[in-house]
Amino acid sequence: MLSKLTLSLDPTVVAQAKQYAQDSHTSLSRLVENYLRQLVSQSDNQVQAGPVLSQINGILKQAEIEDYRDYLAKKYQ
């Protein structure tokens, strides 16, 4: 059984989301449900990389990443 949910959103976002849903041949409800389902299924420690991050993945060497992590750890102690 489905549940109803009322959301308060910016009208511009709603219009854009409706257009996106129409272009994707799905409903806005289905888009929101799929997004929420994906969100709650991810582990707390796992962050999905966005498209830009996915494109630049691998540019830095592992040593550079570790050096940067060490720098941040020292900076925010």
Mind listing the pLDDT tens digit for each residue in 43-61? Answer: 655 666 677 766 776 777 7
Q: Contact 31/17 with Cβ under 8 angstroms?
A: yes
Q: What percentage of the chain reaches a pLDDT higher than 70? A: 82
From CA 48, how far away is CA 39, in angstroms rounded? 10
How many other C-beta atoms are found inside a 10 Å radius of the C-beta of residue 1?
Answer: 2
When pLDDT is cut at 50, 70 and 90, the band that residue 37 belongs to is confident
Q: What percentage of the chain reaches a pLDDT higher than 90? A: 39
pTM: 0.52
Q: Is the pLDDT of residue 7 over 80?
A: yes
**Domain map of the chain by residue range?**
11-42+53-75
Measure Cα distances from 53 to 28, 49, 59, 64, 74 in Å.
27, 6, 10, 16, 25
When pLDDT is cut at 50, 70 and 90, the band that residue 27 belongs to is very high
